[in-house]
Amino acid sequence: EEKTDPSGNAPPMLRGGVHLVDVKKNFVVLVDATKGLRKFDFDTVIDEFASQESVYRSTTMGLIADFINGYNISSIVYGQTGSGKTFTMFGDNEFNLNGTDEKVPSSWGVVPRSCYEIFKAIDYRKNNLNLKFDTEIAVSYIEIFGDSVTDLLREGKTCGQSKVAAQRYVLDGASEVVTTSLSHALCLLNDGEKQKRKAATAMNDRSSRAHSIFIVRMKQTCHTGVSHTNRLFLADLGGSEQLKKSQPFHSVNQEQSNYERKQRTREAVNINLGLLALKQCVEALRKKSPFVPYTTSKLTMMLSTGLGGNSKTAIIVCGAQEQRHGPETIASMKFGQTCRGIFSLTAGKATANMLHELLNNINERIAECEENIKKYERWEVKEVLRPVGDGKEELRKVTVVVGAEEYRKQLSTLIRQKLELTGDTTESLYSDSSAIEGFGNAHIYDLGRKVEQSQV
């Protein structure tokens, strides 16, 4: 919660600050001390009375469905220090839940709710849908302090052997912990929270002193061997701050004041440099520049997978409504509007490629089965008893197809798999599916219905 002085608690006036928050028409009006009234339009505007659940539903819930379907996803919270970013992303209590059957606590933020939604979707798929693929979930929790990247799930250990190798260390999976349940994922989240850099400033009792990113990696492997990997980046950015306002060097212990002054100031500078690099990348993406400077900062390097290419991103902008924070809030709103102007035309390519690979794989196996059927299948004459009436039977010679029964079964299975991927059914291929009659013993392989003996 932000600390304010009596003058800062005054309602916004035309001298500066937030003048109007319209949650129905999704715009905010601020008063710029030099330019007058300024209107900012967004996809969704949420006021200070909104619940954590409504914030999650409005910003990130839809993207979690896209993550399950194979997209790279980012949900990033941005704003000045003390504006409520960490509370929005995490909430204010320990994360404990035994399973997806339990009710989500109302105080949970975006990160634990996203974990809950992911495991709930996986459980539903496993128990209710006939989908023949395996899903592996692994999580990473890192903190970025300047050019240093630390692993919060390994007691703050430095990621990689050098600063240059940190991105490869994280994205290659060296910082990951495989998890098979919601309760385990929440335990990892709790462990990481205890390792984060936090300190008191004049604007926030528990100010985050670095950028932190919770990464969920999902690998889906089809029984054909085709696999697809995508990631979810949930970023709690350190707050942009002016040293004269946040006074990060403030320390109650006078003996530590010199050290605290240097450390807090260094933290603030590193946070602001990372945010500046992010702004430059966002501006380049908006202008569709052929070069996006992701390598300027460790923060943008880590987020590059979730910001560009086949990805979808939600930016949650938190703003302080007090009049004295007007310039910082306007800067945050401008960043949000810049982000809103970015559209990715390649989103969906990864999922389409995976589907294309699956269909090609099935088509190849169908062709192989058909070749084997041609090679091994033959006609044989057999003697069978057939009813002739009055309870009598006679011995007749019939010809049947034999020699490729196993390949016929494989072909039937492959055709069903292909129909599932394309969304078709055997019945949809014919105007009257009840009229389909299998030739010989084709009904064994779901190719038509069996011809009754009386019809022969």
Predicted pLDDT of residue 352: 62
pLDDT tens by residue, 125-183: 888 877 777 899 999 999 988 778 888 898 888 887 666 677 788 878 888 999 999 99
Give strand pairing partners of 382: 398
Contacts of 20 (CB under 8 A, 6+ apart): 28, 29
pLDDT tens by residue, 290-313: 888 888 888 888 888 888 777 888
Give strand pairing partners of 218: 137, 230
Q: What are phi and psi of 301, to 5 degrees?
A: -65, -45
Q: What are phi and psi of 308, to 5 degrees?
A: -110, 175
pLDDT tens by residue, 337-365: 888 776 654 445 555 665 676 778 788 88
Predicted pLDDT of residue 7: 47
Predicted pLDDT of residue 424: 67
Predicted pLDDT of residue 199: 47
pLDDT tens by residue, 51-79: 999 999 999 999 999 999 888 999 999 88
Is beta strand 198-199 parallel, antiparallel or unpaired with respect to 133-145? unpaired
Mean pLDDT of the chain: 78
Q: What is the mean pLDDT of residues 267-272?
A: 76
Is beta strand 72-79 parallel, antiparallel or unpaired with respect to 36-41? unpaired
Q: To the nearest 10°, report the CA torsion of 274, 3, 87, 53.
A: -130
What tokens does 84 get? Answer: 């409520």
Predicted pLDDT of residue 398: 82
More reliable by pLDDT, 311 or 215: 215
449: pLDDT confidence band, cut at 50, 70 and 90?
low
- pTM beyond 0.85: the answer is no
247: pLDDT confidence band, cut at 50, 70 and 90?
low
CA distance 313 to 74: 5
204: pLDDT confidence band, cut at 50, 70 and 90?
very low
More reliable by pLDDT, 98 or 60: 60
Predicted pLDDT of residue 341: 72
Q: What is the mean pLDDT of residues 197-221?
A: 70
CA distance 170 to 140: 8
pLDDT tens by residue, 371-428: 988 888 888 888 888 887 777 888 888 888 888 888 888 888 888 777 766 766 655 5
Q: What is the mean pLDDT of residues 277-300?
A: 85
What tokens does 221 get? Answer: 């492997």
Predicted pLDDT of residue 346: 46
pLDDT tens by residue, 415-443: 877 776 676 665 555 545 454 454 555 55
Q: Is the Cβ–Cβ distance between 91 and 105 less than 8 Å?
A: yes
Predicted pLDDT of residue 75: 93
Predicted pLDDT of residue 279: 86
Q: Is the pLDDT of residue 272 over 50?
A: yes
Predicted pLDDT of residue 89: 92
200: pLDDT confidence band, cut at 50, 70 and 90?
very low
Q: Is the Cβ–Cβ distance between 15 and 33 less than 8 Å?
A: yes
CA-based end-to-end distance of the chain: 84
Is beta strand 378-389 parallel, antiparallel or unpaired with respect to 392-402? antiparallel
Contacts of 82 (CB under 8 A, 6+ apart): 2, 3, 201, 203, 204, 207, 239, 246, 320
Q: Is the Cβ–Cβ distance between 203 and 82 less than 8 Å?
A: yes
